[in-house]
Structure 1
């Protein structure tokens, strides 16, 4: 079942009679004119009040401060594109009256009477943003204990709140749908299960086996029983707008984000543009000055933000934009900012066109290399092959420190087998001969990069856990081990493109002994296993590739 809401909100991007600016045009047929930013207006037109609209407005105000925002009136419009066509027709038919500034308090467009001020703003508009809200299926999930070892169990009522955004372009002869965007939020409300023992009894009767509610394979059976309880069955049949509205408003308010800003900035018509004011290529410094009263804050320009440098070249009789470089913002002043050249196809010059290259600040990478692994009492293997997934997120704008990143690594190494004749074997439950360890580690930390154009030097520090699963042990459940430690890394990287970095990291890591054990039936204690503790102390080598989003 899909619960839909009529289109609720229209955003009108007002040109205000300004030319050029933030919006780019198709490839020119004559000498291209360089473009600079000029402030525009976004007017919000609410077709009817809906509680989620104000949070979207606040999100755009926060994420796109380069626009001024105006709220138009409210009232039903029916088919938005049809109405915009009628406005365009009215504009053409009444050009003389408008030129003479003969304005009325209200204007009849089609069968609608609209205030003149609202009509005029739409006539001056270049774009209209229209949202459409809907709810997805309601479900129960995320069964869990209230806290570790607690006897109280919780479950969530969940549904996706979806927002579609249609962008209409009005600058041509006829309004047209320019782009469609979409985003969603997972909305949930938590309930405490007061009759959980009775629920487990029903599951046990149905399966004929003892029920372990912590077992992820058993939990779906428990959830199905919960869905049949009248209270929860009624919740599942309710419109999520009624059952989850308060949670949705809180989620949207707390997030403070529309989730669409980066994608909208990437649209050709919405890219921020400016020109280089001065370029000192010997010192790798490029300066851009902002026009009028604009500041880096009002335009939303942040530390480490990327800009491409382009020039126009003749191709098939037309001048087309061609990338000649990539830069990143390194210093922010009130009405200007300094950038560092990263990729340089030719020396930059004053007057070169700068085009914003929006990114989310997140990157994902894959690395192959070696790590040290061993067992207590046994000499370590210093070069065990390992593959890793690396995720990073820029902290530059939050911290004010350029090229500072939060990092997460999840790695898995080649299975290892202890030499029981050399290693120290603790007392505990015996394991089958031939058992081997599958090692993996999870770490979080910080990394700092220093750029010398495309060449990059980095330092990183991570801390986390080294874990292992004892495969082929003959024990149930499977024995596991966990040790704490960290890794210190230095790297030499190369910015291959504006999106991609590749390189080599070298470092040292240390993890304390990770002793193998199995969980007791009560779930609150463990039993030792007669297998040597795993450890790690030695060099780390990683060759990696990273892609920025």
Structure 2
């Protein structure tokens, strides 16, 4: 629904921006005074002690250095805290006027110093984070075949959520501006000594189910001391006692998007080569669902950060100080007390340009262009024009347009697939193919402008006519998973791109009651051309050459390997129409 709203409102010059500055008092026809960013002071009000709050503060200090973030630990709600603090401030007015420090305040069991209290009272805004864990779910056992940690594990699962309301501090009471909610699933594995447990089950309970029969094994384990008391206790107690460290590690991983992207790519490669990453495999839906959940969790905190930047009070504002029509670059100015580093401005960040126009309702802000940051200096930065209704002029207003570093691309077109064998010959065809790509911009992480790490998944199916001898089946479906780099070049709305992806192709076919699969490695160099429709959407075409040599003629199934005298391969063009959306 959010995407549809953005698409509907995306046409250039039709997007209206909420005006923040007051109208000039003299004449209604005069445009309002242009705005510049005003530094803000933000506190974190901690109503319950949690190490996750300190982690959250560090995250904001790194990603949004434009603020200070004191962390205040107290009890009760933020409105109650402010009401009590205001009352105490009024009672101690004489002492404060004399330059003396009042005594500390007590809130329940918590003692808050007057200096800490003043940090909240003097803040322009206050975050009041609340963390919650869902009841613990115990499942398993599950086997891990990794070299490190190989063995059987009991699985503890919970979802922990963050409710982060944002308040504007007023004299009477805090005003709730907005609230951000995110949630993550966390999994903790407990190593099990399977031979010892099964021996104890047999000796003490007279039954020792195989660990592959997870339901029977877990039921029996719940009867075995001390698990008969330990597992119910785990399920009835607050999961935060056991999972806070795991939750912190999950959040730390969220902050390292390149590492998370690489981990997901490695996971896709392993699943593809094992024949599991397809919808016809018995565990395909489960494992593919887990993979997609990992992709979804990849950008959660970045999305939270973008939502905070979108708050009108937090948006960076300023003026166009110079425009060079030959290079299509504009200089955007900052206030004297701020710098590029103190505000956390980075390459490829988007900025809208607006002007004020006379309407029947008075002077209204109208978007006249969209730009991207291309060069950074200490007191100013340069932006490249992407969309423009007219040439920019000194004095035009610029507004930050916050987005995450992630983009989602959906593509439909044709792909190539072949079956090769020494005796069966060559069978090749092209057929419809659909793909999705998750892009991560390396501009902020590495300083590489318009360079993207992409995780691509494509699905296609082709059919062959019947031939004499051992022929391929009527159809073979193929899932291709690739990781690659791409570079974009902008010429106003026109965007050109080149790149290379490397990965795997996993083919699946049915042979009677069995499902056969085979994987091979290869890559796809590609190039594309597109138009930037609005700040969020790109529409374009791409063309590439997919090259995947056959890895052999043996195909795997649950019944064992089979030699089919041909192998999965690809050597041909891929072509498609795509729609790109920045998340």
TM-score, L = length of structure 1 = 0.80
Give the CA deviation at 1:386: 0.7
Alpha-carbon separation, structure 1, partners of 2:445 and 2:157: 31
The aligned counterpart of 1:170 is 169
Give the CA deviation at 1:85: 4.8
The aligned counterpart of 1:500 is 537
The aligned counterpart of 2:323 is 279
Alpha-carbon separation, structure 2, partners of 1:310 and 1:221: 66
Alpha-carbon separation, structure 2, partners of 1:349 and 1:196: 76
1:25 aligns with 2:20: yes
Alpha-carbon separation, structure 1, partners of 2:211 and 2:576: 41
3-state secondary structure, aligned to 2:68: strand
1:518 aligns with 2:514: no
Which structure features the higher share of helix residues?
2
Alpha-carbon separation, structure 1, partners of 2:63 and 2:217: 42
The aligned counterpart of 1:146 is 144
**Residue 54 of structure 2 contacts residue 71 of structure 2 at CA under 8 Å; is this kept in 1?**
no
Note closer, same or farther for the CA distance 1:500–1:211 as it changes in structure 2 (3 Å cut): farther
Matches within 5 A, 1:507-546: 507-513=544-550, 515-519=553-557, 526-530=560-564, 532-546=566-580
**Residue 200 of structure 1 contacts residue 211 of structure 1 at CA under 8 Å; is this kept in 2?**
no
Alpha-carbon separation, structure 2, partners of 1:24 and 1:96: 38
3-state secondary structure, aligned to 1:271: coil
The aligned counterpart of 2:41 is 41
1:187 aligns with 2:234: no
Note closer, same or farther for the CA distance 1:254–1:518 as it changes in structure 2 (3 Å cut): closer
* Structure 2: segments with no counterpart, 5+ residues: 1-17, 202-208, 257-300
1:364 aligns with 2:408: yes
Cα-to-partner distance string for 1:47-106 (whole Å, 9 max, x where unaligned): 45432221111111111101123455x433x23224435666788x799979x9455533
The aligned counterpart of 1:63 is 63
Give the CA deviation at 1:333: 1.9
Deviating more after overlay: 412-421 vs 50-59: 412-421
Note closer, same or farther for the CA distance 1:464–1:419 as it changes in structure 2 (3 Å cut): farther
Cα-to-partner distance string for 1:285-315 (whole Å, 9 max, x where unaligned): 1112332242222111111111111112233
The aligned counterpart of 1:443 is 482
1:134 to 132, 135, 150: 132
1:329 aligns with 2:360: no
Note closer, same or farther for the CA distance 1:500–1:143 as it changes in structure 2 (3 Å cut): farther
Would you say how many aligned residue pairs link Structure 1 and Structure 2?
500
RMSD of the alignment, in Å? 3.6
Give the CA deviation at 1:356: 0.8
Alpha-carbon separation, structure 1, partners of 2:351 and 2:58: 26
Note closer, same or farther for the CA distance 1:249–1:131 as it changes in structure 2 (3 Å cut): same
Note closer, same or farther for the CA distance 1:116–1:212 as it changes in structure 2 (3 Å cut): closer
Alpha-carbon separation, structure 2, partners of 1:512 and 1:176: 63
3-state secondary structure, aligned to 1:292: coil
The aligned counterpart of 1:402 is 449
Note closer, same or farther for the CA distance 1:301–1:157 as it changes in structure 2 (3 Å cut): same
Alpha-carbon separation, structure 2, partners of 1:475 and 1:240: 45
Note closer, same or farther for the CA distance 1:267–1:537 as it changes in structure 2 (3 Å cut): same
Note closer, same or farther for the CA distance 1:175–1:379 as it changes in structure 2 (3 Å cut): same
Alpha-carbon separation, structure 2, partners of 1:198 and 1:96: 69
The aligned counterpart of 1:315 is 359
1:482 to 501, 519, 522: 519
Matches within 5 A, 1:419-458: 419-421=466-468, 435-458=474-497
Deviating more after overlay: 282-291 vs 173-182: 173-182
TM-score, L = length of structure 2 = 0.76
Give the CA deviation at 1:36: 1.3
Give the CA deviation at 1:319: 2.6
The aligned counterpart of 1:240 is 239
3-state secondary structure, aligned to 2:245: helix
3-state secondary structure, aligned to 2:306: helix
Alpha-carbon separation, structure 2, partners of 1:201 and 1:387: 52
* Structure 1: segments with no counterpart, 5+ residues: 1-22, 203-209, 426-433
Cα-to-partner distance string for 1:217-255 (whole Å, 9 max, x where unaligned): x75676666566524444333321222233334444554
**Residue 141 of structure 2 contacts residue 218 of structure 2 at CA under 8 Å; is this kept in 1?**
yes
The aligned counterpart of 1:386 is 433
Give the CA deviation at 1:530: 2.7
Alpha-carbon separation, structure 2, partners of 1:494 and 1:142: 50
Cα-to-partner distance string for 1:469-518 (whole Å, 9 max, x where unaligned): 112x1143x11111111101010111111001110001111111154523
Give the CA deviation at 1:271: 1.1
Give the CA deviation at 1:172: 7.9
Note closer, same or farther for the CA distance 1:244–1:119 as it changes in structure 2 (3 Å cut): closer
3-state secondary structure, aligned to 2:313: helix
Alpha-carbon separation, structure 2, partners of 1:90 and 1:238: 38
Deviating more after overlay: 326-335 vs 486-495: 326-335
Note closer, same or farther for the CA distance 1:398–1:142 as it changes in structure 2 (3 Å cut): farther
Alpha-carbon separation, structure 2, partners of 1:142 and 1:349: 64
Matches within 5 A, 1:290-301: 290-301=334-345
Alpha-carbon separation, structure 2, partners of 1:219 and 1:422: 45
Matches within 5 A, 1:216-227: none
Note closer, same or farther for the CA distance 1:346–1:506 as it changes in structure 2 (3 Å cut): same
Deviating more after overlay: 274-283 vs 507-516: 507-516
The aligned counterpart of 2:503 is 464
Alpha-carbon separation, structure 2, partners of 1:539 and 1:442: 17
**Residue 378 of structure 1 contacts residue 419 of structure 1 at CA under 8 Å; is this kept in 2?**
no
3-state secondary structure, aligned to 1:40: coil
**Residue 27 of structure 1 contacts residue 320 of structure 1 at CA under 8 Å; is this kept in 2?**
no
Matches within 5 A, 1:27-106: 28=23, 31-47=31-47, 49-72=49-72, 74-76=73-75, 78-85=76-83, 101-102=97-98, 105-106=101-102
